[in-house]
Structure 1
């Protein structure tokens, strides 16, 4: 995840909590945010859930803007570090479930960061079973080290009022059925009437009853609708108010009823590890009762999961074929590219030392190492072939090539390593991607220079002996 200079916080109170309770929790959050020196400004919106994408009296969303990167240097002041401290501190607020998260790595792919999936009720088990499944995931995720948190805004036990309209009475009273629904829409909501122009601006006219008509549920029974004779008939004569539990929002994804679930990856773990462990969590604890589909950035990553391997193999194949065409040999290129395993080991070591997961930027660095490591091998193999053509023995040719090219290889490789080393100490916007790329390239190229330069002549000797032995048999 990148430090984009801001993060989000989501607040969720128990079902049907009033807006006043939500605002009271917001005051506690405000005190915590005011104590953070890294925070420049913030805004809290009570009654709105960025996760659910709608209005909820028991939810709130905070947008927290951090100070400039120059004013908060050091890993302990990054957005991710601030989010971790904030989550630990708000854990003590018992009135609500509060968690913060960084924005998505790619703007536009999801409302928040983390791994997002849709848990699908493919067998039509109902909202109660869906709620149980979500709670099961939130209860057992701690057994999976790559998952820092699993959260969901899904609620199937929200207290609600159900207006039970007796349609038989409505027909006996001569009241058109759509009249009740129209009256409910006007009084409990609003309806668009028309537009008018005044002072050079266009204004909309909307019809609604206002807040006074929506204070208590009994106000609904006081509404009246005209019958066929023009007489006003109160709702109480054909409507009953019943209490029930249900969902506050009904969401569908690919035609299935779904619950949106967000997973945050633990520090030091890659998103790929988080995806695999989340899939294992669903399979072990939910089985085949529910399906799931990844969305947002996680969907793009799962779709491109095998692409990285294909790209790496193609890069290695192209390098090998180009060298085979240049040397007119199938064995010499093998010796030239044998420095790559050491470079890969160095890249993994760099990720471990710098504490960065194997991200897409690390993979880009590995692709670069294919060419950079082959460069050193080419310099040695090229001279070894020339010495062999002059009549030297295979061992002498390999030794002389390694001896002559050692200094130029060290000079060029170390110059490159020191040139890209500032990537390891990057700060500010985009620092995460630069550190990940630098860790792979710097450590991979440094280890390749120190070790591969020594054993590539040995590989040339081995491959050249095999080639000449095979040629004699032919």
Structure 2
């Protein structure tokens, strides 16, 4: 899909409308994704709307790590050390800064790529107990493949999916907003809601008002 520049430079990152579909009843990210796709499908059938899209995805492959807190306590291993080890080896951990050639550089530690390529590599990591012994993390965690949202967006505190789009040729932006509202008001369950953001919010706020010069 193509993305137009914003009508007012500096207000938003693209043109068209900015619709936020909200999960107000805790139905979960999977249902939120399904409703977002349903709205896009229904909106695409409207003659006054074009280019509907969403970047929200609730089925991104992920790895879920379940730490056995009871066993960690029995082995005298602080939970912060377990999480810190996972972060340092799989992600990165900030150490300090140093200056060289008139510039400041950050020092970060991280495992070499060949030691963090596969999920099973997590079991080979080791964490230190308070007594100084090294224990494989594989004895403390269960690693599972799962699906989930890559990013959990929130809008006015509610989990939300952003839906973008624009009016079709021959339709005004206010007509496009009205079409979206009429469509979702007849379809959304009570556990769902929506709000406008960016320039669409400003348009709804001042719609119908006349400016005095």
TM over 0.5: yes
Answer 1 or 2: which has greater helix percent.
Answer: 1
Match in the other structure for 1:204: 106
TM-superposition CA deviations, 1:33-86 (whole Å, max 9, x none): xxxxxxxxxxxxxxxxxxxxxxxxxxxxxxxxxxxxxxxxxxxxxxxxxxxxxx
Please give the per-residue CA displacement for 1:365-420, whole angstroms capped at 9, x wherever unaligned: xxxxxxxxxxxxxxxxxxxxxxxxxxxxxxxxxxxxxxxxxxxxxxxxxxxxxxxx
Name the SS for the 1:141 alignment partner.
helix
- Listed one character per residue, the Cα deviations across residues 295-324 of structure 1 (whole Å, up to 9, x for unaligned) are 11111111110313xx4xx79xxxxxxxxx
- Give the structure 1 partner of residue 165 of structure 2: 263
Higher strand proportion: 2
Q: Which has the higher contact order (CA 8 A, sep 6+)?
A: 2
**Contact map agreement 1:189 1:208 (CA 8 A) in 2:** yes
Answer with 1 or 2: which has the greater Rg: 1
Runs of 4+ in 1 over 4 A off after TM superposition: none
**Residues 1:132 and 2:34 aligned together:** yes
Give the 3-state SS of the residue equivalent to 1:273 in structure 2. helix
Correspondence for 2:142 among 226, 235, 240: 240
Deviation at 1:214, TM superposition (A): 2.1
Counting only pairs closer than 5 Å after superposition, residues 74-153 of structure 1 correspond to structure 2 as 99-153=1-55
Q: Post-superposition shift, 1:287? A: 4.4
Aligned equivalent of 1:275 = 177
Q: Answer yes or no: is the 8 Å Cα contact 1:221–1:236 preserved in 2.
A: yes
Equivalent in 54, 58, 61 of residue 156 of structure 1 = 58
Segments of structure 1 that go 5 or more residues without pairing to the other structure are 1-98, 316-474
> CA RMSD, aligned part only?
1.6
Checking the alignment, whether the CA contact within 8 Å between 2:26 and 2:191 is kept in structure 1 is no
What 5-or-longer segments of structure 2 have no aligned partner?
none
Q: Secondary structure at the match of 1:111?
A: coil
Contact 1:141/1:149 (CA < 8 Å) preserved in 2? Answer: no
CA contact (8 A) 1:136 1:285 kept: no
- 1:250 is aligned to 2:149: no
Post-superposition Cα deviations, 1:409-464, rounded to whole Å, max 9, x if no partner, equal xxxxxxxxxxxxxxxxxxxxxxxxxxxxxxxxxxxxxxxxxxxxxxxxxxxxxxxx
Give the Å deviation of 1:206.
1.6
Of 280-289 and 169-178, deviating more is: 280-289
Mean alpha-carbon deviation: is it higher for 194-203 or for 263-272? 194-203
